[in-house]
Amino acid sequence: MWLRVSAWLCLGLTLAPYTMAADKNRFSELEAYINQFTKPSDKVPIKIKGVSTDIKANIEAYIGDLNKDDLTQWRETSARLRKATREALESLGYYQAEFKFNRLEKALELEVQLNQPVIVDSVKLSYVGQAGNDIAFTALRETFPLKEGDVLHHGRYEAAKSLLQNMALERGYFDGQWLKHEVLIDKDTQKAQVNLQYDSGERYKLGEVSFKHTRANQQLAIDADLLDNLVPFKAGDDYEAEKVIKLNKVLLDSRYFNEVKVRAESGLAQDYVVPVNVLLAMDSPNQVDLGAGYATDIGARVSATWRRSLLNRRGHSIETSSEISQVRQSATARYGIPWTHPINDTLQILAGFKREDIDEIAITNNSVLGVERQKKRDSGWQTTESLRWSRESYRQENGEKGRSDLLLPSYSISRVRTKGSKTDPERGDRQSYQVELASSSVLSDADLIALQANWRWLNTFAQRHQLLLRADVGTIISSDFDSVPLNIRFYAGGDQSVRGYDYKSLSPRDSTGQVTGASNLVALSSEYAFKLTSKWRLAAFVDAGNAFDAASDGLKVGVGGGIRWISPVGPIRLDIAQSLDNGNASPRIHFFMGPAL
């Protein structure tokens, strides 16, 4: 024990001089680090008078930093400052500006008198080459950033030139060059002439698209004709960068690939034709999504989805999803087959099961088998034509049981338009329309026609004010409404219907108080939100609606307010609503996660 301590003591004494030296070096470094923040600055502030904030910032950018040492060599410094100030003012069109520097005790003062700026008297923009017949370049004359009557701003002049050059590259004029680019200034009249002439040369074409695996020794596991159908242009089309970008997006949207690299090789062009080379990989064919949430309508919820987007060389896919909540449990499987287009026109074979247990209505079990064709139009509309066989069994609280089979051909059309973030758009709208039919003469226990329409409209005013309008309407036409299954009937009330009322509680009731569902639906909402920050806002709303058989039943009204949080996983909504048609009812809390549209 003593020997061990002595050894360590000797070692410590031996290293002590080196340790002290190292500590001294570290102290010096620390002292230097602290001094850079505590030592008085050598910079000399410049106070600029007589100009706006923008012009002041431009002068400061040209002048740069001024140190105390610069003032000891005032003749050289003064010449540099005058030159920089003159260039800063002339770059903004002030060629007749007057200014002077005043040396103060601890600062430098710059007094500026701008006088009249140079005004753009004419802008002559002309093209040589194929751009002269290009509608985009013709339109640029009308939207050119520099116009007659503007103050001559050299920054905007250079930006305008860059805009034209970039547009030329984006539209396939890879050999373009300026024949003339000049600004002629008459200092006597304070007017300027802008003369621009651009030679675009030949416009290049898009060539054939070649698809290869990212690994040179591997083949793509998909047929070539399916890939060709995904190309949004034809060989020989005029080059547009937007078309190349769209090809990249379409390939990713197909979900066939998790790695996409699209290259338009303008440097390899021959006879003005640009080859397009695409590298693809699908290293993770199986995709799993897990989710969890909560809403007052259905309680806590968990969900899981498994998807295999590329089952075979013909582009078939399979997807299964399941959801479990306190009110609803469901499972669905879909088998997808490309029809005329792998993304925009697909056939879906589906099977599903859903169980719901809703107070005052029933416990329902619904099984579905069907086929549907989904088409995405260039206009943004999506149509769905489907044929589904549905079997519903139910047991109501009063003990009544039943079962119903329906063969339902249906057609729906919908469109969503948004501007801004997908999860928190600034403005947009959603529309959907659907018709379903059933006949007792064709594998169905009821005759019915069901019509539904849904609208959402969102707009932001003056950056902080937002208005959301909603309308849902529907009707069922049937000679025997009692034979219409419960899952086809209409109900109102809840987080996404009429707030202030329980989920699906607004509906006609039988003699025992049991909710029966209705043949008609109207649900309207107007909501105003004020943005506190980019992520938080306050909301106030009025909802009105009902599910009814007779128009005399009238609409139920709920009013309230709440908060909105744009969370990383999407918008979260917390509301307190009061029904106005039942004075004894307590306010209801509504909690919901999901986008406004």
Model confidence, pTM: 0.78
Which of 165-179, 237-251, 356-370, 424-438 bottoms out in mean pLDDT, i.e. has the lowest? 356-370
Across 21-30, 231-240, 249-258, least confident range: 21-30
Mean pLDDT of 24-35: 51
pLDDT digits (tens, 9 = 90+) for 56-109: 999 999 999 888 887 778 888 889 999 999 999 999 999 999 999 998 878 889
Question: Rounded to an integer, what distance in angstroms lies between the CA atom of residue 403 and that of residue 393?
Answer: 4
Q: Give the per-residue pLDDT at 41.
A: 53
Domains with residue ranges and CATH for the chain: 46-113 (3.10.20.310), 119-201 (3.10.20.310), 205-281 (3.10.20.310), 372-593 (2.40.160.50)
Pairing of strands 205-213, 273-281: parallel
Please write the tens of the pLDDT for every residue from 409-418: 999 999 999 9
CB contact at 8 A, 481 and 519: yes
Which one has a higher pLDDT value, 93 or 597? 93
Of residues 475 and 395, more confidence is placed in 475
Q: What percent of the chain has pLDDT over 70?
A: 93
For 569, how many CA atoms within 13 A lie in the half-sphere containing its CB? Answer: 9
For residues 271-294, average pLDDT: 92
pLDDT of 338-354, one tens digit each?
999 999 999 999 999 99
- Average pLDDT taken over every residue of the chain: 90
Kindly write down the DSSP assignment for every residue of 4-64, as one continuous string.
Answer: HHHHHHHHHHHHHHHHHHHHHHHHHHHHHHHHHHHSPP-B--EEEESS-HHHHHHHHHHH-
Q: Please write the tens of the pLDDT for every residue from 504-533.
A: 999 999 888 889 999 999 999 999 999 999
Does pLDDT of 1 surpass 70?
Answer: no
Q: Residues 296, 590: contact at Cβ < 8 Å?
A: yes
pLDDT-wise least confident of 2-6, 159-163, 315-319, 579-583: 2-6
Is 93 within 8 Å of 117 (Cβ atoms)? yes
Confidence of residue 421 (pLDDT cuts 50, 70, 90): confident
Position 308 scores a pLDDT of 95
Evaluate if residue 19 carries a pLDDT over 70. Answer: no
CB atoms within 10 A of CB 457: 16
> Residue 423: pLDDT above 80?
yes
User: Cα angle vertex 61, ends 56, 105, to 5°?
Assistant: 70
Contact yes or no for 127/137 (Cβ under 8 A): yes
| Residue spans of beta strands (DSSP E) within 146-258 | 177-186, 191-201, 205-213
User: Which has more confidence, 155 or 397?
Assistant: 155
